[in-house]
Structure 1
């Protein structure tokens, strides 16, 4: 593949998410501008109990302006590994602790700087209550395996990353 050369970039907006305007020289010598969302690394935690139940959350998401069903997720603290963040976020958002954490996949997006790290949290068990941030209003629930599979097939109120994480987890667990 012929390399693209970055000419420049500038921040159009800085906040919890940043909007970056990048200009590249394309392989044919022309220049093109792209708007890129600047996002730090996130973890998606495909969490399952030893009873073959998926640990899921429902919470409002401002992008689609609706409540979405997902696995627990969170921003990776720069002082933590993705695995450490997964353990912390799982406990904070759900009150569950993982017996084992396994890296499943890292995903990149075309128009963000985000690195989405998908991890499997297996042998999860309840150890406490949620400890939510001030802007988090999260409902926790578990889905037996047949219902979880049905949710993946319908996938009307979840993101593609969560569908991907679900199938990767089921494959790793040998439950497909």
Structure 2
């Protein structure tokens, strides 16, 4: 009648045993599958770049072929996409305490040929910014796109995060609390690709979450918003 309890007990006992896969020791934790054997998912596998990378396309985007020797010994070609220059990007969420709202931008998105919402964002560029670092770029992009400057700044995360497994561009998210509005004639001109960009003020947290849920922000923009909201909650700015 309770045979399934006995089966579960046996399986649990087996999972708790140290398992050796190419090693005489094993760590505990979550388990994954590899080659038909159960191994800890944090086990180091040997992936190696073979030879030199081959640039397939080089414009604003750079497409590179990387040949990787897999742990099994097979050679697999991967096409990875990055950005020319530093290959680093920034996103900034501007939070206004008095109104408990956020400033977004709405701009034309050529990939889907429509306007989408997003955060002020841009690449870390040697020629455009005084110094090729994320902090300088973040301040410059907030001023250029949202016409905001100053405020209290927080960098979210110690290192950049890539968009997906085939992207090399590292994204760094910043939270800026209570920036000050700047007249358009005091802000630097926007890039040609930002023609038609609109500043959207007074966006509530509830509206932000709806925009993410409905797909009105890009994946990277939605991820950046979630990181910033987590920081705002940590600071006691929101519940």
* 1:38–1:165 Cα change, 3 Å: closer
State the SS of the aligned residue for 1:165.
Answer: helix
Alignment of 1:70-89 (within 5 A): 70-78=118-126, 79-89=131-141
Q: TM-score, normalised by structure 2?
A: 0.69
Counterpart for residue 229 of structure 2: 170
Give yes or no for the alignment of 1:117 onto 2:117: no
Counterpart for residue 38 of structure 1: 82
CA contact (8 A) 1:22 1:35 kept: yes
What is the root-mean-square deviation in Å for CA atoms of aligned residues? 1.6
| CA drift at 1:96 | 0.8
State the SS of the aligned residue for 2:226.
Answer: helix
Counterpart for residue 198 of structure 2: 139
Which of residues 96, 102, 105 in structure 2 aligns to 1:49?
A: 96
Tell which structure's C-alpha radius of gyration is larger.
2
Q: TM-score, normalised by structure 1?
A: 0.91
Which of residues 89, 107, 111 in structure 2 aligns to 1:63?
A: 111
Aligned length: 175
Unaligned runs of at least 5 residues, structure 2: 1-43
Give the distance between the partners of 1:111 and 1:47, measured in 2 at CA.
Answer: 29
CA contact (8 A) 1:98 1:124 kept: yes
Structure of higher RCO (CA pairs closer than 8 Å, 6+ residues apart):
1
State the SS of the aligned residue for 1:157.
Answer: coil
